[in-house]
Amino acid sequence: MEVRASRTPALHQLSGWRRRVKSLNGWQIASALAAVISLIPLMFILVHLAEPASDTWKHMADYLLLPYITRTLLLMLGTGALTLLLGIPAAWLTASCAFPGRKIIEMLLALPLAIPGYIMAYSYAGLLGSGIMNLAGLSAVLSFALYPYVYMIARSAFLQQSASLREAARSMGLGQGGAFWRISLPMARPAIIGGLALVMMEVINDYGAVKYYGVPTFTAGIFRAWFSMDDLNAAVRLSACLLLVVFALLSLERYQRGAARISEVRTHAPARIQLQGLKAFAALAVCALPVLAGFLLPAVKLLHWNFQADSPDYVNLANALKNTLFLAAAAAALCVCVALLLAWTARISHEQKAHLSVRLATLGYAVPGAVIA
Amino acid sequence: MAWQGCATPGKQQAEPEKVVNIYTHRHYDTDQQLFDAFEKQTGIKVNVVKAADDELINRMESEGPNCPADLLITVDAGRLYRAQERGLLQTVTSPSLDAQVPANLRDPQGHWYGLTRRARVIAYSKDRVKPADLSTYEALADAKWKGKVLVRSSDNLYNQSLMASILSYNGEEATLGWAKGIVANMAREPKGNDRDQVKAIAAGEGDVALVNTYYIGLLSTSKDEAERQAAAAIRIFFPNQEGRGTHVNISGAGIARFAPHPEYALQLLEFLTGKEAQSAFASANFEYPVNPAVEADSLLKSWGTFRSDTLNLSVLGKLNKDAVQIFDKAGWK
């Protein structure tokens, strides 16, 4: 890093810049590109924010902004809390215990991810009537659809925990419950909060269910400004407010993770706690409940409706299925490629800028569909 | 941009491919059957893209001259007006369209034409409400209906267009007063769709609801026992018969400005407003035909004839934004 005296500062700067460019390899450039693409909607918003506020925006700020904020936050809190209640016990039981039916229920627990929140909301309204069509009901219904995020992430965190730690805890006199509350749960906390953040972003993202249940949230507001009021300016401003919330959420998640970085070396596969009799039955029941609420009940209602339809349109259904599968496969392939790229870049380079582009690219997930659209 | 003339089969030199592309918000089986029939009669293949009005309009705008759509079909006159305002539609004139679609159900310049009419009526509990107590939309804001009025959210196009029509007759101050009165009378916070409002009357949650006629037709012929029972628990009242008439909106269509196959689009438009298609709309989907030569379905006729508001429907589009702001000011979610 020494500078020869004969070089002018400008030249020095130039060579430094060149050196830095040379040190950028193809991977880093590609990652930066991915980050830039996922940030295009953000740039768009920033550019439009510079325009003066429209009358519609003033109207919305006067009449709608506060209710949108309150409703969105309450829905996030309610749904978040319920996904924890549904997801964590099932995750711990399937990861740490042995009981009859565990292997099947372990897979079934992820199934609700296959039912979109809107369909879930619609089928529950069909099952239970309009009594559940309010904020509390919507929190419950959305948590049935979204708990698998918490379940899957928490489960893999529990599975990775070393048996020796738990055994040590037991040997020091902690009971099964004590070991869970004082060792397993705190160690899985960063993962669980990550899952929770995904849940909350899905909640923010929902449009169909909130509209049908009459609980208009921020996303509904963005569409109202954009479509009903035909005002992009106001929609952009609402999007910016929403992004602030999302960034706050992400920072919280990051802060959490930063504060508790736990690494461990796995010694041996943890011995599962053998459950028998009533305890095994209770464990199965705790795990079966989310499957029942998140998959079986809505699926039965949907099938019921299908059989009631005059002549189910199988040709259209097949076409729709084909399109869906194609879109899903294409999107999945793209996601995997980008994710691999980002992970690889993060792995081979220890530089701040690479991590920055990886971090920026993950923001893409958090940007609600409404904002991107 | 005006494109004149009838659909003459002779001029196809530029476009050898016989297709017509539709962007539509209508999602009914009847429509597909009609497109199939059109294809059989003319040999013109019909391609369909289904999405909500607003999404289709934004899509056409961003596709610009490359937009493949020939015909835009919406379920609300206000949205056709919006497409027209953004320069997405071209004008057409055709003697058969003029004969098949009454003047107030089409754009004066020919940007768009109505396909079906839907009346927004008052559904009331046959057990708890006497029809003599009902009169106008305005009267639903009377304190005597406190806790009894059911209506869906203000995000809904049909509500927005109803509000726009009231606004055009009564002015801003009176309309805001009306909206506040309705909010004060609501049996519950707005939620669900029109069918859910009818079900709520049947369940005793409220006594009167603002709904579109064809939903009641669909409910009363539903395969679902509960839906048929809900329809049986209510009767229909056509409001404002002494004055301007019941609010009527249309589902309608306009030919896209950059349509690659405008002749076929016009041919399809003439077909859809013709007798055969109009009776199909009426009988299968319980919509009122626009074509005066076609009778309404027998179920619709059993509700009686009514006087409909003859306000030119482009007004609904012009006043849409003001109507939405009144909803917000009144706290109508």
pLDDT, residue A344, reads 65
**pLDDT at residue B164 above 80?**
yes
**pLDDT at residue B204 above 90?**
yes
High-pLDDT (> 90) share of chain B, %? 71
Pair B101, B95: CB distance under 8 Å: no
pLDDT, residue A205, reads 84
CA distances in angstroms from B115 to A357, B98, B175, listed in the order given: 53, 12, 29
The CA distance from A270 to the nearest CA of chain B, in Å, is 50
Residues of chain A with pLDDT under 50: 1-7
Cβ of B333 under 8 Å from any chain A Cβ?
yes
- Partner-chain contact B155 A224, CB within 8 Å: yes
Residues of chain B with Cβ-Cβ distance to A370 below 8 Å are none
Mean pLDDT of all residues in B300-325: 89
pLDDT, residue A265, reads 53
Structure tokens at A247: 């960034």
A130, A306, A315: best to mutate for the B interface, most B CBs within 10 A? A130
The CA distance from A362 to the nearest CA of chain B, in Å, is 27
Cβ of B321 under 8 Å from any chain A Cβ?
yes
Cβ of B328 under 8 Å from any chain A Cβ?
yes
Closest chain A residue by Cα to residue B62: A373
The CA distance from A64 to the nearest CA of chain B, in Å, is 7
Q: What is the DSSP string of A26-76?
A: HHHHHHHHHHHHHHHHHHHHHHHHTSPPPHHHHHHHHHTHHHHHHHHHHHH
pLDDT, residue A16, reads 59
Closest chain A residue by Cα to residue B160: A228
Comparison of pLDDT for B301 and A52, the residue scoring more: B301
Q: Which residues face B24 on adjacent strands?
A: B50, B73
pLDDT band at B162 (very low <50, low <70, confident <90, very high): very high
Cβ of B146 under 8 Å from any chain A Cβ?
no
Taking one residue from A and the other from B, the number of pairs with CB-CB distance under 8 angstroms is 65
Mean pLDDT of all residues in B126-151: 95
pLDDT tens-digit profile of B79-128?
A: 899 899 999 999 999 999 999 999 889 998 999 999 999 999 999 999 99
pLDDT, residue A1, reads 38
User: Which of A37-41, A170-174, B143-147, B195-199 is least confident?
Assistant: A37-41
pLDDT, residue A153, reads 92
**pLDDT at residue B6 above 80?**
no
Of A56, A130, A220, the CB nearest to B155: A220
Distance CA B9, CA A362 (A): 56
pLDDT band at B230 (very low <50, low <70, confident <90, very high): very high
Residues of chain B with Cβ-Cβ distance to A137 below 8 Å are none
- How do beta strands B208-212 and B288-289 pair? unpaired
Of B153, B193, B321, the CB nearest to A229: B321
CA distances in angstroms from B78 to A312, B161, B314, B329, listed in the order given: 33, 7, 6, 21
Cβ of B203 under 8 Å from any chain A Cβ?
yes
- Partner-chain contact B188 A130, CB within 8 Å: yes
Question: For residue B237, what is the enclosing H or E element?
Answer: strand B234-237
Distance CA A281, CA A93 (A): 12
